[in-house]
Amino acid sequence: MGSLFENMQAVPLSHYIWFCAIIFTIGVVGVLVRRNAIIIFMSVELMLNAVNLLLAAFSVHHNDPSGQVFVFFIMALAAAEVAVGLSIIVMVYRNTQSIDINVLNRLKW
Amino acid sequence: MGTSVFYFVATLSIISALMVVFAKNPIHSVLYLILTFFTFTIHYVLLNAQFLAVVNFIVYMGAIMVLFLFVLMLLNLNKENEPNKSVLLRIIGVIAGGCLVVTLIGSLKSAVINTPLELKDQNLGLVENLGKELFGQFMLPFELSSLLLLSAMVGAILLTKKEEKTNG
């Protein structure tokens, strides 16, 4: 494992930032263009993962384990969020027979 | 091989993330999302964050993805009620995303230190080190997260429980 990391030492931190920015943006685009509620949830997961990876990269950069502890907390939060969110989706499907988020536009007012 | 592993895995995860968003079938989306999470696990291994790699593998690819697949199969979505946004809205969404990524990269370009990432402490991301951190400095948030998980569990059960007809 150590020798594997020796090869990684030439990757600049900025490339991690760009990579995570791209993944985060893909998640944002997914939330914007899709209407299937489950796909929107998956896009949110993508965004959370991008942030997680960036936190881990910065934790390595600053030699500080707190960043990786935060990633652990974010993972616990994501698990809770997915459980509640998917149960809400199941409820919506049971009431409207659809998971199209436009069915819920009456929530706007 | 050098750094080419990182770039190869990064390309793979960007492609599979794009496929998550633009795949027509939701089942394919979930499968591509599993692939994306697997590439993220590889990224954690490359950063020598072994604890996070294992947790990512178990929690995301194990628990969360099974939950997604389970709900997707439970809802039994047909092709007819597969929602689709108009082309104009899709194009606007993609343009907005492009603006966001350009803004993010442009604003971070000047702030970023271009030094290569180096691991000063070899056992930074190992379980022993993180456990000491987790049960020392982050003891209270750790206990609170257990409360959060408990409330999420109770909330999920309460939400999905069938409404009983109550008179009065």
DSSP B124-157: SSSHHHHHHHHTTTTHHHHHHHHHHHHHHHHHHH
A91 Cβ contact list (under 8 Å, min separation 6):
B159, B160
Residue A88 DSSP SS3: helix
Considering only the beta carbons, identify the residue of B5, B48, B155 that sits closest to A84: B155
Q: Is A20 on the interface with B (CB under 8 A)?
A: no
* Side chain identity, residue A49: N
CB neighbours (10 Å) of residue B139? Answer: 10
Contacts B77 to A, Cβ<8 Å = 99
pLDDT at A51 over 90: yes
B54 touches chain A (CB under 8 A): no
C-beta atoms of A49 and B60 within 8 A: yes
Give this complex's ipTM: 0.88
At B143 the pLDDT is 93
User: Tens digits of per-residue pLDDT, B16-30?
Assistant: 999 999 888 888 999
- Quick: pLDDT tens for B52-72: 999 999 988 888 888 888 888
Asked if B97 and A29 come within 8 Å (Cβ–Cβ), the reply is yes
Q: Is the pLDDT of residue B168 over 50?
A: no
Q: Residues of A85-108 as b/e, b for ≥16 C-beta within 10 angstroms?
A: bbbbbbebbeeeebbbbebeeeee
Note whether B159 contacts A88, CB cutoff 8 Å: yes
Phi-psi region of B2 (alpha: psi -120 to 50; beta: other; left: phi over 0): left
